[in-house]
Amino acid sequence: MKIALIGYGKMGQAIEEIAVAQGHEIVLKIGIENLGDFTVEAVAKADVAIEFTSPHSAVANIKKCFDAGVAVVCGSTGWLEQWDEVIAYCQEKQGAFLYASNFSIGVNLFFELNNYLAKIMAPHNDYDVSMEEIHHTQKKDAPSGTAITLAERVLEHIGRKKQWVNHISDNPAELEIISERIDPAPGTHKIKYHSEIDDIEIIHTAHNRKGFASGAVMAANFLNGKKGIYNMKQVLGL
């Protein structure tokens, strides 16, 4: 498989290492120092583009890949207010797109665990629920995309919570997400159910970027040759 890396920071370099070890070819690497090389013609050499950049550039990057007829695996977060626009453009171009707020296999299993726990905790009104997330200081968005995904699943099941907020809250209708930025933390997410009697917590802690990078390469393998819109649940068969 021929891969274009759109975003060549620490994550892009981790993806490159794993992809090359698996026998894939990196045909394009775009970082902050060579943005001029990111052309439709250049990215068209790839089978799949893996896009890990920033909220302000992700949508334009994704669209350019669709213009080139290249499938896109996207791990950038913070741009989802433009989700409908991107999906419509993908369909217009008859492209292939796979987005995940987190590509780690462990995190995606954690998503399922969180969903199940929220479902069984829903009737127990004596438990309040809150969240914490920790990332490195280069993380541009807060809360993280992973935290938002987790929070949305909680809100689906815990009807007494109406919205998430990214600050300490004493409003029982708000799901509190506390974000911390500490180097060199690659990512920790905690969901806590608290009552006067006891606490129930589930925690996922990433030790390095390898889990995210491995999942992104797995997603690219899955997407290669396909058309349409996909997610990590389909990649993992969950």
Annotated active-site positions, please?
135, 139
* N- to C-terminal Cα separation, the chain: 25
Cα angle 185-20-41, degrees, rounded to a multiple of 5: 100
Q: What region does 69 belong to: left with phi over 0, alpha with psi -120 to 50, or beta? A: left
Strands (E) across the chain are located at 2-6, 25-30, 48-51, 71-74, 96-99, 128-135, 163-165, 174-181, 188-194, 199-205, 228-230
